Amino acid sequence: MSEHPAPPIQQHTLVARTTDEVAEVVERTIIAHEGRVRRARTPGGTTVARVAEGPSLQATRWHSPTRYETTTQPFHYLLLGHITQGRYEIGVPGDVHRFQRGDAVLLPTGVPLDVSWEDPKLATLALPLDRVREVAEERYGLPPGELRFCGLAPVDAAAARYWLDVFALANRQMLDGGSALGHPVLAEEMVRHLAVAALATFPNTTMSLSPSREPLGSAPAAVRRATAFIEEHAGEPVTAAQIAAAAGIGVRALQYAFARHHSATPSEYLRRVRLERAHRELLEAQPGDGRTVAAVAARWGFPRPGRFASHYRAVYGRSPSETLRS
């Protein structure tokens, strides 16, 4: 496979002690203001924001002992948060939503928001909206322009628990140092995982849909082009849109065709190929060459060695460490 250097996650800490400095932290870590901060108070406390920025994902954790009100510019990415302290109000046209400790929240896109908080402590993740739209099209056949999130809170308690587990993993990987998410393949897999989880958790226009059956006319030639592209680029960050473009068909048709000919989505097929490449690399390893199961797994897009070992054993009937030692 081709080598892809993993740039480190860019991490920094912002500190604010005055009203103007708090406004600057909000703008740098969350969203630009419309130019007016209606009210802010910093009663002797210090706002601290930790920020991590990767190839396609941003994470923050911050605490601000303030009371603050402002109006934001419209969000053009998906911002999701987990509140661990304080009270929040988010005003959208015609409604106000209130959140408190323990809540998961998704901020609406495309409209200005009236936001206020008191003594907040929270973690956030920012996802590229186009990637979430691609996943919605691939999984549900929903045209990208038709994806809309219709609510700010999870659909139910079970969805909230699942989302917070996924959210915590990504936020921790980004901010706690030594993260492998600087690797483009791993970053792409994490963004995809978060997009799938967000679509299953927060009310949106995919929830009335289910994956459709294949329309007539999906061409095997397109499948061959798509599989050839996957085989050639398995060691790189690859999206469904890129595979579809290489195949010369739309993402929805690609999904149908793969379901028929491979009994898998394009992303699942890509994962199969990566697992086979990892297996091949483990077989080719020589004593003393320094290769480890964790390093091989990460190189082929499997950031969690335990999960990689489970997938590997299911396919090859033994653990990856046994293959490496053989």
Regions of the chain short of the pLDDT cut 70: 1-7, 31-44, 209-220
What local confidence, expressed as pLDDT, does residue 129 receive?
Answer: 92
Predicted local distance difference test score (pLDDT) of residue 216: 36
Question: What's the confidence (pLDDT) of residue 213?
Answer: 42
Answer whether 10-129 and 270-325 agree in fold: no
Give dist(CA 163, CA 102) in Å, integer: 12
- Three-state SS string over the chain comes to CCCCCCCCCEEEEEEECCHHHHHHHHHHHCCCEEEEEEEEECCCCCEEEEEEECCCCEEEEEECCCEEEEEECCCCCEEEEEEEEEEEEEEECCEEEEECCCCEEEECCCCCCEEEEEEEEEEEEEECHHHHHHHHHHHHCCCHHHCCECCCCCCCHHHHHHHHHHHHHHHHHHHCCCCCCCCHHHHHHHHHHHHHHHHHHCCECCCCCCCCCCCCCCCHHHHHHHHHHHHHHCCCCCCHHHHHHHHCCCHHHHHHHHHHHCCCCHHHHHHHHHHHHHHHHHHHCCCCCCCCHHHHHHHCCCCCHHHHHHHHHHHHCCCHHHHHHC
Helix axes 305-316, 266-284, angle to 10 degrees: 90
**In the block, which residue shows the tokens 């496979």?**
1
Q: 10-129 is classed in which CATH architecture?
A: Sandwich (2.60)
Query: Residue 34's pLDDT is what?
Result: 52
- Tokens representing residue 151 in the block: 């609510």
The tokens for 11 are 């991490």
- Backbone angles phi and psi of 273, in degrees to 5: -60, -45
Bridge partners (DSSP) listed for residue 96:
91
Task: Specify whether domain 270-325 bears CATH 1.10.10.60.
Answer: yes
Ordered by start, the domain boundaries in the chain are 10-129, 270-325
Q: How far apart are the first and last CA of the chain?
A: 22
What's the CA gap between 79 and 59, in Å, rounded?
10
Sequence-distant (6+) residues with CB within 8 A of 62 are 25, 29, 47, 48, 49, 50, 120, 121, 122
Can you state the angle between helices 251-261 and 266-284, rounded to 10 degrees?
A: 60
Residue in the structure block whose two tokens are 């080719």: 284
* Closest among 6, 56, 297, 249 to 137, alpha carbons compared: 249
